[in-house]
Structure 1
């Protein structure tokens, strides 16, 4: 009996520890430790390192015009900054999708668009970032997944 209870307890613990990663908390804060490109960052949190896809932001890929400049801008402005992200529960590739802001309350998506390094992605943003687009940001070709 004790052996079967021990086995059941071990199985229960393994299930909890091995729970799917979709159990991510809705909101997490951490230090921005890596910029993949202008719409994908990584933050170090108490739960480990989390890759975040900025929800509703359409930035050029690194091999596209403006991609490297957008990455450099994000690094220069936000590297090592404390960032808070609110996740929508979706995941794309290895990245959680969320809206992030800095300690001053500045939305990173709005900031990178206003700086001319990305565009609003209306399919996912519902148009919330359109007002931040500039003539420079509109020069970036919008990806098909945003239309």
Structure 2
């Protein structure tokens, strides 16, 4: 009986720590310099990976992927940014909306520049107004529909 209570307590503790760790980033601002650009929709802010919420960019091995990454590097690499994290996590990345030091939405800028698309499943269509003919030529991933 004691072993089972201890096991239950341990399981509860692990679950509580996991949930509190995930929710600790919910609704939180993170600011710092962009240390690395993985691709057009994933950046690292002070070594914290952030997936741009609602932005569908080409993967590095897809048409336009390398060019989109280079575009993002020119825009924000080593620049200060501020990201609002949703608390969601995908793979090793926190999900958030990031802004330049002047307050411009980085996802909107990428879409407007034809380097990415709106991902309506996650954006709710927030970025549709920024899509261009060029951005609509990029592949849209199934997870965005």
Cα separation, 2, equivalents of 1:43 and 1:89: 16
How far residue 100 of structure 1 moved from its aligned partner, in angstroms, is: 0.4
How far residue 24 of structure 1 moved from its aligned partner, in angstroms, is: 2.2
Counterpart position of 2:34: 32
**Residue-by-residue CA offset, 1:74-102 (whole Å, 9 max, x unaligned):** 00111111110001110000000000001
How far residue 114 of structure 1 moved from its aligned partner, in angstroms, is: 0.5
Q: Could you tell me which runs of 5 or more consecutive residues in structure 2 were left unpaired when the two chains were aligned.
A: 1-12
Cα separation, 2, equivalents of 1:61 and 1:141: 10
**Residue-by-residue CA offset, 1:94-142 (whole Å, 9 max, x unaligned):** 0000000011000000000001000000000000000000110000011
Counterpart position of 1:59: 57
Aligned residues: 126
Aligned equivalent of 2:116, options 118, 128, 135: 118
Aligned equivalent of 2:104, options 106, 111, 126: 106
Counterpart position of 1:132: 130
Counterpart position of 1:87: 85
Q: Could you tell me which runs of 5 or more consecutive residues in structure 1 were left unpaired when the two chains were aligned.
A: 1-14
Deviation >6 Å, runs of 4+: none
Q: For the aligned residues, what is the CA RMSD?
A: 1.2
- Aligned 8 A contact 2:57 2:116 in 1: yes
Length-normalised TM-score, structure 2: 0.84
1:29 match: secondary structure: strand
